[in-house]
Amino acid sequence: MNMSKSPKFESVKTFFSHMKREFIKNKNIVGQLVKRNVKVQYRNSAIGIVWTVLNPLLNMLVMYLVFGTIFGYSSDKTYVLYLLCGNIIFNTMRGATTQSMTSLVNNRGLLTKNKIAFQVFPLSCNISAIVNFAFSYVALLIVMMVVDTSSPFMHVFSAHMLKAILMMPAFFLFIYGVSLVLAAAYVYFRDILHFYNIFLTLWMYMTPIFYKVNTISGSFGKFFVFILKCNPMVHFVEYFRQVTYRTVAETSITETSDEAIKQIMAIQDSVIIDTNLATLYILGIAFFAVGLLIFSVSKRNFMYKI
Amino acid sequence: MKKNKMDELELSQSAIDINEELPVIEFNDVEMEFYMGSEKIDGLKEFFIKFIKGKIDRTKKKVLDGISFSVKKGESIAIIGHNGAGKSTTLKIITGILKPTKGSVKVRGNVAPLLNLGAGFDYEATAKENIYLNGAILGHSKKELEKKYNDIVEFSELHDYMNVPLKNFSSGMVARLGFAIAIDVEPDILLIDEVLSVGDENFRQKCSAKIKELKEKGATFVVVSHSIGQIKQLCQRAIWIENSKLVADGPVDEVCAKYEEYCKNNKH
């Protein structure tokens, strides 16, 4: 169904019908690729798709045992939720960007034999990352009910949960922007793969996933918070935490003893990087715009470099 | 309602595109340049070392040089020439995978490329999944594919293997599946690159029959092959590209005779 390849179209009508067909075609390809990406993860595994829920849970458990002991958080049962919130957001970003980076080169066979828009590949990687995120979210819901036994279903349908959905378009634009830059760069320089893996480790430590910012004090603490604020991932992680962890953790404490008040204070303190939806959308749109620009400029030579 | 509107658009589209008077493929002084392979730098280190030494090779190779020809609707033409003469590049330009460095190309109607069958296959996935993925790449919607699915399976004769991962297929089976998907597009223009020798004798006859059927329906064929016999069977006209230039364009027997003579003379 691909059509006239000429840059000059015989009429405006032809042009629009061309655009429409290209759009429908690309939509179908993306749909099939997403299906493939999601399926490929649990192909030949015994419990299949259950892994996508189990994986973040087990990951969380390991981190809880290790970092809970090191930092002394293990007495606080809400810490598991704190961990999981940060972890699933960061891992979604990690999955989307690392897969997108190699997606063009890995699909070399398809690209050199068929006329396909380049964007289709990073886009499908990002959409499948979001699908995986949805599965991880199921894990999060399970943990939420365990942490707050007083009102297990209240949070699932609360307004705060809605905010978590509201942030997703911004988050998607952000990871897609980063993915586009990496995918384009990888076509030219294969070293990026190794470099980015190291960078991801650094990035993870520069994002409060397992530690709480308020435990770092003194003048270094202030400097550290400043650095954290420059890290876009911190904003996404902290916002997601505000709307899930904080509300659940606060309501999970029902008694009014001094101990309980102390705990609530600690929870409020632990989210000290304040952020809002507007910031997330500015970040998302900015990264997407830069990514798209770099990708569009460099895609002219993809065919010869790939 | 939406669907109807789309059909209307498509109809008017094809009415404009497939005009009897206008050629379906038009090459106008097309030039295609590639950077030489030595310039292909994969690593940053390599790049900087070469950059500092001033050794970035910017020499280009002309793969096509001033190629002009046009193909009318329903015509079948063959492109012949030695390895590396620019035949496959020509097909890739018709498909739109590559854009020419200079000159203009016009293609009217939808193109089905049969270049290297099975290049788009995911060998970990089953045959069924591959039909849907490959079909989408060729521009089918999911609904269309659901309708065509049975025909494709029927044509490939691989009924019992649809839920088998492609990595367990023989190369002949993969080629058959690839051919079955590509041929089912019912395209206006079909590009064939050395893929007519797939499968066993029975399957080959089936392919020839299908090609004949498409020809009768008015499809245009562009064939790249080294088998002169096959070309003579399939095409009326041939184009000979040698050293990136168009050498001859005319009736298939004439051009093929010239080409064979040239091959003989250049052996020594």
Give the rounded percent of residues in chain B with a pLDDT score beyond 90. Answer: 3
Q: Cβ B42–A190 below 8 Å, yes or no? A: yes
| B98 vs A: CB within 8 A | yes
Which residue type sits at A246?
R
pLDDT digits (tens, 9 = 90+) for B87-139: 888 888 888 888 888 888 988 888 887 776 666 787 878 888 888 888 888 77
What CA–CA distance (Å, rounded) separates A6 from B10? 17
Q: Distances in Å between the alpha carbon of B224 and those of A142, B220, B241, B245? A: 60, 14, 11, 16
Residue numbers in B near A31 (CB within 8 A)? 136, 142
Are B60 and B36 a contacting pair, CB within 8 Å? Answer: yes
Say whether residue A108 is in contact with chain B using an 8 A CB cutoff: no
Residues of chain A neighbouring B5 (CB-CB closer than 8 A): none
Q: What is the pLDDT of residue A138?
A: 85
Residues 169-228, chain B: which have Cβ within 8 Å of A? none
**Homologous superfamily of the B23-110+187-268 domain (CATH):** P-loop containing nucleotide triphosphate hydrolases (3.40.50.300)
Contact assignment for A1 to B110 by CB distance below 8 Å: yes
Cβ-defined contact of A109 to B35 (cutoff 8 Å): no
Q: CA–CA separation, A1 vs A114, rounded Å?
A: 12
φ, ψ of residue A158 in degrees (nearest 5):
-80, 170
Residues of B in contact with A303 (CB under 8 A): 97-98
Paired with A180 in beta bridges are none
Residue in chain B nearest A44 by alpha carbon? B124
Comparing CA positions, the residue from A100, A282, A290, A88 lying closest to residue A187 is A100
Percentage of the residues of chain A whose pLDDT score is greater than 70 = 86
Q: Does ipTM exceed 0.90?
A: no
The one-letter code for the residue type at B207 is C
pTM, two decimals, is 0.82
Domain segments of chain A as ranges: 26-305
Domain layout of chain B by residue ranges: 23-110+187-268, 121-185
Closest partner residue to A116 (CB to CB) among B107, B115, B137 is B137
Beta-carbon contacts of residue B113 (< 8 Å; ≥ 6 apart): A113, A114, A115, B91, B95, B97, B182, B191, B193
What residues pair up with B69 in beta bridges, in sequence order? B27
Residue B242, chain A, CB below 8 Å: the answer is no
DSSP A42: T
Give pLDDT tens digits for B183-215.
Answer: 777 778 888 887 666 667 788 788 888 888 888
Most A-contacting residue of B58, B105, B133 (CB-CB within 10 A), to test interface: B133
Contact between B9 and A303 using a beta-carbon 8 Å cutoff: no
What is the C-alpha separation between B265 and B268, in angstroms, rounded?
7
Question: Rounded to a whole number, what is the distance in Å from the CA of A188 to chain B's nearest CA?
Answer: 6
- State the pLDDT at residue A151: 62
**Residue numbers in A near B45 (CB within 8 A):** 191
Judged by CB atoms closer than 8 Å, whether chains meet at B96 and A115 is answered as yes
Q: Contact at 8 Å (CB) between B100 and B30?
A: yes
pLDDT along chain A (306 residues), means of 10: 46 77 85 86 76 86 86 78 90 95 88 85 95 89 77 64 88 97 92 94 92 77 84 93 77 68 68 80 96 92 80
